[in-house]
Structure 1
Amino acid sequence: MQKSLSSFTRLLTLKLSYFYGTYTQYMIDKQKILITVLMPVFNSELFVKQAIESILNQSHQNFEFLIINDGSTDHSHAIISSFSDSRIKYVNNELNKGIVNTLNQGLTLSMGHYIARMDADDIAMPDRLSKQAAFLYANPSYKLCGSRAVAIDANGKEINNLNRPEHSAEIKVFNLFRNAFLHPTIMADAEVLKKFAYSEDFKYAEDYFLFSQITMAYPVANLNERLLHYRIHEESITSKKREEMVQSELKTTAYLLSFLFDKVDEQSLLIHHSILRPEGTDFSSQEVEAHLINILKANRERQVFDQKVLRKQLQKDWFNYLLKSDNKSLLNKFLKSGLFTVSNLNLKQIVKLLLK
């Protein structure tokens, strides 16, 4: 009886110890800031109020809202200052530092376990933070999570849906040709984001290079939900700084192709980039096809990307390239490409590609 009671006491002590240890850790975690929402602002007086309100009204409440006003010359400062909320951490840069320096300033100041990006002209859906945080918490090996979005104009009118691939293998392949993430939709592991950070050498495509690095190192995802209204208007960076953006895209492409080829020559780089931006290029369909086949062959040897997913993406890009050309024998040329094999030919898939 004495021995049995002693065993019961030890078991009870262990259970209580576990309970109080777990409860203590729970209370510590509750006091931690789970998410930092990082939003740089520059001359965004027309939209910043709505952007701020969309974050403050999130269903998930455990976050800090780090707003950095990067030397705005309009009424942005006054609008931001009009909000009184303990979750807002406001930094007002007297001089404009530029988007890359401001984003890295935000990474340094952030206290959250996750960092969510937000732009001052966009609108977050009420459950955005809760859904992305839940995904990352449930899948700790995943270090970056974006979502789909709805494009809106300056007046808030919906223009179209912005889709991105969901799964890591698809994202990795898609990203080889174009950014697989919509920057203001992402939430990422803070430690990983700070390790890579934004690079001034990739200005105006700094997100593409950063996310490319993370995508090549960790599992990533895009939620199959539209968690943001993504505003497109005349003041967008992509409209004003096109040439610098193109140069940064080329450097990002060179980085990604280096996983497949020991040396990436300028001609191959330009052909590859023409798939993203075909306007103004004069490469022949034979040159483009040969480049895509080389990618498929190189990956067969190095196994960087899922070969089946890669082949499907290459076929899709090849067809879209032909579609934009004046090729008279489009279907015949498409089906006879070395991007197809006999076992790979699938009428249903071909029809789907043609109709997409």
Structure 2
Amino acid sequence: MTAETKHQGPLVSVIIPTYNRPDYLKQAIASVVQQTYTNLEIIVSDDCSPEHPQPIIDAFQDARIRLRRNPTNLGIGLNATYAFKEAQGKYVASLNDDDLWCPDFLEKLVPPLEADPDLALAFCDYFIINSEGTIDAPATEKQSCREKRHQLQAGIYRPFWELGLIDRSVFAASAALIRCEAVAWERLQEAGVFWDYYISYLACRSGQGAYYCPERLACYRIHAQSENMTSGNRNAQAKIRKGKAGIACYESFMADAPNPKLRKYFEREWAYANTTLGIGLLRANQAIAARPYLLRSLQYQKLNLRTMVALALSFIPQSLASPFLQMRNVFAEHSNHL
């Protein structure tokens, strides 16, 4: 791609949802500003952080960056949704405020979409980095294998339901570029903390294809304050958010599943999300509210130990149940779940 092409290419909208991570936010914005593809608008969407991010944006002195700030905290799903709705570009990409792009991320992903109007998105592989930004090579390889990108060849996949929603090869939060008109953005608010996974679903249901670039062009940061880490540990409210979002997502997926294999998978994950919500409610001392979700889950996975133990604990005094609810070997999230 020549310098002239970079400047004359279509407008790309970059969404950076953020909340209370100013140091990471600076790094995320810098990785977008330094893109070799330059026809950008950068929308930093702040969910009412205690520290106003405007000084961070002003320090870049880049007219392509603008801030939208919620007057109250809305949660990550709505914060991202409202930013996507403001996007003016032909293509749109999001970047978590704690993640990074390599300089040629957009340069590599725009051309496939320009070449084929029947593509909904282009996506790539990515590195795993730690809290300090150092690449974790073993974790990177493990993640690529877990999400089955290691066996993908460069090129077009159509349809990509299984690749996007079962293998989860598409990381829409930080490693994909999406054709703006291919996604019904108004539906994104249904997904809560799974907003990025829901983008993959909305792109799949468009009927269009996905292009895969096997290069690692983004960096996903693993650290103690991320939503995935807190929901997998002992944070009751994070687990409740995760359970509610999973139920909403999989109910939509089941309704649109194009074949029995996908529907069966979505039903199983829906049941798992009901258990997650039930466990979150138990940890929040809401045993009665938890039971209907645990019972619903057992309708689809009758011999699931995780669900059966949680249901049993809902019938004993909280003082006796609490130690068991903290047992990670019983209630930890398994690795295939978001």
Which among 169, 172, 179 is matched to residue 189 of structure 1? 179
Q: How far apart, CA to CA, are the structure 1 residues paired with 2:269 and 2:63? A: 51
Q: Which of residues 75, 89, 99 is equivalent to 1:122? A: 99
* Cα distance, 1:46 vs structure 2: 2.4
Structure-1 residue corresponding to 2:24: 47
In the alignment, does 2:74 pair up with 1:85? no
- Paired residue for 2:122? 145
Moved over 4 A (4+): 29-33, 271-275, 280-288
* Structure 2: gaps of 5 or more residues: 231-237, 280-296, 305-333
Within 5 A, what are the aligned runs for 1:293-312?
none
Aligned residues between the structures = 257
Alignment match, 1:38: 15
Q: Residue 59 in 1 paired to residue 36 in 2?
A: yes
How far apart, in 2, do the equivalents of 1:95 and 1:284 lie?
38
Q: In the aligned structure 2, how far is the partner of 1:284 from the partner of 1:254?
A: 14
Contact 1:198 1:206 (8 Å CA) reproduced: no
The answer to whether residue 303 in structure 2 is matched with residue 269 in structure 1 is no
The residue type paired with residue 186 of structure 1 is A
Counting only pairs closer than 5 Å after superposition, residues 213-292 of structure 1 correspond to structure 2 as 213-217=202-206, 218-240=208-230, 241-258=238-255, 259=257, 260=259, 269-270=267-268
Residue number in structure 1 paired with 2:197: 208
SS at match of 1:126: coil
Residue of structure 2 aligned with 1:107, choices 62, 84, 87? 84
| TM-score, with structure 1 as normaliser | 0.62
CA gap of 1:119–1:77, structure 2 versus 1, over 3 A, is: same
Q: Map of 1:8-23 to 2, 5 A cutoff?
A: none
Question: 1:172 corresponds to which letter in structure 2?
Answer: W
The one-letter code sitting in structure 2 at the alignment partner of 1:230 is Y
Which amino acid in structure 1 is aligned with residue 182 of structure 2?
V
2-structure distance, mates of 1:88, 1:234 = 28
Q: CA deviation at 1:65?
A: 1.2
Percent sequence identity is 21
Return closer, same or farther for 1:110/1:200 CA change in 2, 3 Å cut-off: closer
CA distance, structure 2, for counterparts of residue 122 and residue 234 of structure 1: 14
Cα distance in 1, alignment partners of residues 269 and 195 from structure 2: 22
Separation in 2, partners of 1:105, 1:211: 18
Question: TM (normalized to structure 2)?
Answer: 0.65
- Aligned Cα root-mean-square deviation (Å): 3.7
Matches within 5 A, 1:66-81: 66-74=43-51, 76-81=53-58
Residues 122-153 of structure 1 deviation map (CA, whole Å, 9 limit, x = unaligned): 11001001111111111221011221111111
Letter in 2 for 1:249: G
Distance 1:98 1:256 in 2: 22
Rounded Cα–Cα distance in structure 2 between residues aligned with 1:132 and 1:210? 17
1:184 match: secondary structure = coil
Once residues 74 and 227 of structure 1 are traced to their aligned partners in structure 2, the CA distance between those partners, rounded to angstroms, is 30
1:32 deviation in Å?
7.8
Offset of residue 282 of structure 1: 9.5
Cα distance in 1 for partners of 2:180, 2:202 equals 15
Contact 1:68 1:106 in 2 (8 A): yes
Q: Distance in 2 between the 1:271 and 1:59 partners?
A: 40
Q: CA deviation at 1:229?
A: 0.9
Of 160, 163, 166, the match for 1:177: 166
* 1:219-238 CA distance string (max 9 Å, x none): 12332111111111112122
User: Aligned equivalents of 1:157 and 1:32: distance in 2?
Assistant: 32
Point out the structure with max Rg over C-alpha: 1
